[in-house]
Amino acid sequence: MARPTPLSGFPEWLPDGRIVEQHVLDVLRRTFELHGFAGIETRAVEPLDQLLRKGETSKEVYVLRRLQEEAGAPGEDRAGQLGLHFDLTVPFARYVLENAGHLAFPFRRYQIQKVWRGERPQDGRFREFVQADIDVVAAGELAYHYEVELPLVMAEALGALRSIGVPPVRILVNNRKVAEGFYRGLGLDDVDGVLRSIDKLDKIGAGAVTELLVTETGATADQADACLALAAISGDDDGVITRVRELAMAHAVTSELLEEGLGELGTLMRAAASRAPGVVVADLKIARGLDYYTGSVYETLLVGHEQLGSICSGGRYDTLASDGTTTYPGVGLSIGVSRLVSRLLTGGLVRATRSVPSAVLVAVTSQDLRPASDAVATALRARGIPVEVAPSAAKFGKQIRHADRRGIPFVWFVGAPDESGTATADQVKDIRSGDQQAADTATWEPSSDDWWPRVVPAT
């Protein structure tokens, strides 16, 4: 087998990179659990017809076939075919319906798993990647306060990563009711069409969006201007609410839906200003494409890395799932863990202090004496210290180099009887400083900085 090459779009990390990723996952999990979210994991596959209920994503799905199955003709019946999930929302909706009788609602869950999309790989866009989702789903009615709570949980989770060198984030929020109320109040009823056009603002610019609004949604130049003026409003306090009201007044827009949306957005901005100051920004151009959101929508930019795109997105949906009797509304956000970690590693923002868990390498004096080294390792591990034993009874210089190559800070030398027959004490050497001292397996311990590999800013 010749040396294989990486598959584009399927990222993998070396052991030190995996330590960074694992740390990010641990911090997210801990934050979600502190907020009472229960972890679940769903299977990687869903029936293809469920994955394709929203046609727009069909191009991304990987379909599975057992190798020994008959290969089907292209247009064959999809019943029974399985595909890999492309997000964690579709499987969660199915899980909620399947287990509704065993869940207590409102149900708070987090879910950290890989998803797959057959898209063309680009920087920060993968075919296999890890997402970390939180959602609250209710049976029947979902109170608005969850739309305030969930982005603040994500703000806390991402904030908890600041100390390892993750840049600050800006969570951009909008409310579908504001946009829809404003557009309808202006006289534009093709709300999806307007949203679709506005969503292209960053990509194609205001001039082209105006043209789209006029040609595709039948807007007048004045209506298009008003839509663009709305999209231009942003700010990190509830002053944005006033500015939207002024804009509406200037265009004689009155709408109950708009007022309801502004009330909600104002509540969110005030809560965010007190609980996560400077993190949440109202940005009236956030549209979240053609998704099924019906209230708040969220996107998150990494400050200084805005061109990476959103690393945490989501929103409120009135119908996550329905079994015909009960409808399950929800609100949730999803962190693109692979996108974030990939930038942390390739951008040189973050590093692990070593590439292996071991704090100590126990040297082996001779192959016959390996059991003595094993006993030292066992004693240290019993006290929670990560240890490995040297691979061979090579010269001590070579054993020290073995530790050095892995970043293991300490080498332990097992005492042995000297010429007079008295046992000498064990010694432990800090191979960075060269300091060596007598040590006892019952009491010695590494400093807390050296105990486990840590994840730290790279600079």
Q: Which of residues 40-79 bind a second copy (CB under 8 A)?
A: 40-45, 47-48, 50, 52, 58-68, 70-74
Q: Pick the binder of a second copy from 97, 247, 394, 456 (CB under 8 A).
A: 97
The values of phi and psi at residue 377, to 5°, are -60, -45
Alpha-carbon dihedral angle through residues 87, 93, 95, 98, given to the nearest 10 degrees: -150
**Residue 333 has what DSSP assignment?**
E
Residue type, 296: S
Touching a second copy, residues 140-179 (CB under 8 A): 143, 145, 149
The residue count of the chain comes to 459
SS3 112: strand
Q: Pick the binder of a second copy from 24, 28, 89, 109 (CB under 8 A).
A: 109
Give the shortest CB-261-to-a second copy separation in angstroms.
19
For a second copy, the closer of residues 22 and 353 by Cβ is 22
For a second copy, the closer of residues 313 and 373 by Cβ is 373
- Tell me the HSE value of 84 on the side-chain side, using a 13 A CA sphere: 16
For a second copy, the closer of residues 6 and 421 by Cβ is 6
Q: Pick the binder of a second copy from 20, 24, 27, 37 (CB under 8 A).
A: 37
Touching a second copy, residues 420-459 (CB under 8 A): 452
The side-by-side arrangement of strands in the sheet containing 427-430 is 387-389, 360-362, 410-413, 427-430, 436-438
Touching a second copy, residues 336-395 (CB under 8 A): 355-358, 367, 370-371, 374, 378, 381, 384-389, 391-392
Cβ(297)–Cβ(174) below 8 Å: yes
Give the shortest CB-448-to-a second copy separation in angstroms.
16
**Which of 139, 143, 56 lies closest to 100, judged by CA?**
139
99 binds a second copy (CB under 8 A): yes
Give the count of beta carbons closer than 10 Å to the beta carbon of residue 241: 21
Give the shortest CB-215-to-a second copy separation in angstroms.
28
CA 150, CA 331: separation in Å to the nearest integer?
8
Q: What is the CA radius of gyration of the chain?
A: 28
CA 255, CA 180: separation in Å to the nearest integer?
9
137 binds a second copy (CB under 8 A): no
Q: Pick the binder of a second copy from 332, 402, 413, 414 (CB under 8 A).
A: 402
SS3 412: strand
CA 292, CA 280: separation in Å to the nearest integer?
22
Q: How far does Cα 131 stand from its chain's mean position?
A: 5
- Interface region with a second copy, contact rule CB under 8 A, candidates 5-13, 244-252, 306-314, 409-417: 5-13
Give the shortest CB-449-to-a second copy separation in angstroms.
17
Q: Pick the binder of a second copy from 229, 247, 271, 456 (CB under 8 A).
A: 271
- Interface region with a second copy, contact rule CB under 8 A, candidates 175-183, 204-212, 307-315, 318-326: 318-326
Give the shortest CB-292-to-a second copy separation in angstroms.
14
CA 368, CA 240: separation in Å to the nearest integer?
76
- Interface region with a second copy, contact rule CB under 8 A, candidates 11-19, 185-193, 223-231, 342-350: 11-19
- Interface region with a second copy, contact rule CB under 8 A, candidates 219-227, 240-248, 320-328, 442-450: 320-328
Sign of the alpha-carbon dihedral angle for 246, 247, 253, 257: negative
Residue type, 359: A
Q: Pick the binder of a second copy from 20, 27, 83, 177 (CB under 8 A).
A: 83
Q: Pick the binder of a second copy from 199, 275, 347, 396 (CB under 8 A).
A: 275
273 binds a second copy (CB under 8 A): no
